[in-house]
Amino acid sequence: MYNHYYLAFDVGGLFINGVVLNSRGEIMPNSESYFPSKSDVGREELLNHFVQIICRQIGKILDKYFIIDGIGFAFPGPFDYQKGVSFISKVNKFESLYGVDLRNELTMRLRQQKVFFLHAAQPFRIVFENNANMFALGEWVTGKAKDYHRVMFLTLGNGTGSAFMENGEIIKNREDVPPNGWVYCHPFRESIVDDYLSTRGILRIAQQLNVNPNIGLKEIADAARSGHKDEKEVFHRFGELLGEMLLIFIKPFQPDAVVIGGQIAKSYDLFMGQVHRALDNQQVSILFLDRTSYPTFVGLSKAITLEKEGQEIEKSEFRL
């Protein structure tokens, strides 16, 4: 008897987090792995890197007889998720994949790998979904967001991911949300949101305050927690910017809660005070999560199942 599995990957600008899911959408023990994203390398090297990661995750399955039914990728945008084509540009990540048909390119390369060829289902599915949407869907079911009617989600890392949800349904095309639910490209101050509410936005603030931006986000956060004045000011200014940006979208959407995840959210203790002050007159709960991948994997497991059934994730109310 063959057991059936899926592979799920949460793709970020710095790291790719991968797990093996069983047929019930549960994460298999000891299957979680972290890989460098290599988002700044050339097209061929990056595609081969994805293939190597997939094969390594297949190697985590210890069953003698098993079938891989599909792979799900939670990928940042802009991206044509239905076609599997990335349109990310000018953000120093995955630019070499611009216009590439990832589904086709990965399938061709995987067919040459024995470990894949022996265990891949026919037909085999590769599903691409927006990482912020998958985070939102998973968090709605498994986390704090399930207690709220209307929620705005943000993922803060190399870029600014976002999703808007009402009663378990992702809202993309409505007057009270930005097109596609994406805030990253919305005009903000002298540029767009993504240039300010991201890792590079924090590093730009650091440079303005004569803090060495080359030491990295974690090191700046560690210094801030140790009491270094300039490093603390970096995060205070970031929190003010985040609060200012949130107001732009909270006023029309009127969420009950804003849920914030991503790598930057791990440092929420350094800037949440400024965010709360900026939103003092708004009747909204602000929730920070220091781990985003688990709800993202829950969302991906549902997306893969719906794709298998011929349904669209946006048209399905997500409840377990």
CA-derived radius of gyration, the chain: 20
**The predicted structure's pLDDT at residue 315:** 38
Whether 101 and 122 map to the same domain: the answer is yes
| Residue 216 in domain | yes
| Residue 109 in domain | yes
CATH number of the domain residue 172 falls in: 3.30.420.40
Contacts of 27 (CB under 8 A, 6+ apart): 19, 20, 21, 294, 297
Distance in angstroms (rounded) separating the CA atoms of residues 228 and 147: 38
Q: 50-67 pLDDT, tens per residue?
A: 999 999 999 999 888 999
Predicted model pTM: 0.85
| Residue 184 in domain | yes
Whether 138 and 287 map to the same domain: the answer is yes
Whether 196 and 230 map to the same domain: the answer is yes
**The predicted structure's pLDDT at residue 83:** 93
Whether 224 and 150 map to the same domain: the answer is yes
**The predicted structure's pLDDT at residue 111:** 92
SS3 70: strand
**The predicted structure's pLDDT at residue 76:** 87
Whether 141 and 282 map to the same domain: the answer is yes
Whether 170 and 185 map to the same domain: the answer is yes
| Residue 42 in domain | yes
Domain extent at residue 27: 3-131+294-315
Whether 167 and 284 map to the same domain: the answer is yes
**The predicted structure's pLDDT at residue 60:** 93
CB 2 within 8 Å of CB 17: no
Whether 299 and 287 map to the same domain: the answer is no
Whether 286 and 300 map to the same domain: the answer is no
Residues in the chain predicted with pLDDT less than 70, given as ranges, are: 308-320
| Residue 320 in domain | no
Whether 257 and 111 map to the same domain: the answer is no
| Residue 219 in domain | yes
Long-range contacts, 308-311 (Cβ 8 Å, 24+): 308/69, 308/70, 308/125
| DSSP string computed for 150-204 | EEEEEEESSSEEEEEEETTEE--SSTTS-GGG--TTSEETTEEHHHHSSHHHHHH
Q: How many domains does the chain have?
A: 2
Whether 144 and 266 map to the same domain: the answer is yes
**The predicted structure's pLDDT at residue 35:** 96
Whether 213 and 280 map to the same domain: the answer is yes
**The predicted structure's pLDDT at residue 310:** 60
**The predicted structure's pLDDT at residue 254:** 96
| Residue 119 in domain | yes
